[in-house]
Amino acid sequence: MFDEIKKLLSKEYGINNLSPEMNFKTDLGLNSFDLMNLLCIAEEEFGIEIEEEEYRHLNTVGEMSALLEKLTGQKR
């Protein structure tokens, strides 16, 4: 799933050279709107629904990857 997130970030925000430890705000410069947009794109892309309590504390690319793996039931 990490590779899919890398593709989304590259396509939407031109962000490359990611690691799972990178923080969306401090390392990548994304604000809360950017993160919500990314989550909406992921919902559409993977056919899932992400509840607020599931994404409310997402800080890193790795945390998002783990959440998407859990919700899709697969590791990509």
CB 61 within 8 A of CB 68: no
Q: What confidence tens digit (pLDDT) does each residue in 17-61 have?
A: 999 999 999 999 999 999 999 999 999 999 999 999 999 999 999
Domain map (residue ranges) of the chain: 2-72
Output the pLDDT for position 30: 96
pLDDT at position 10, please? Answer: 95
Report pTM.
Answer: 0.88
The two structure tokens encoding residue 8: 């989304």
Domain with residues 2-72, CATH architecture: Orthogonal Bundle (1.10)
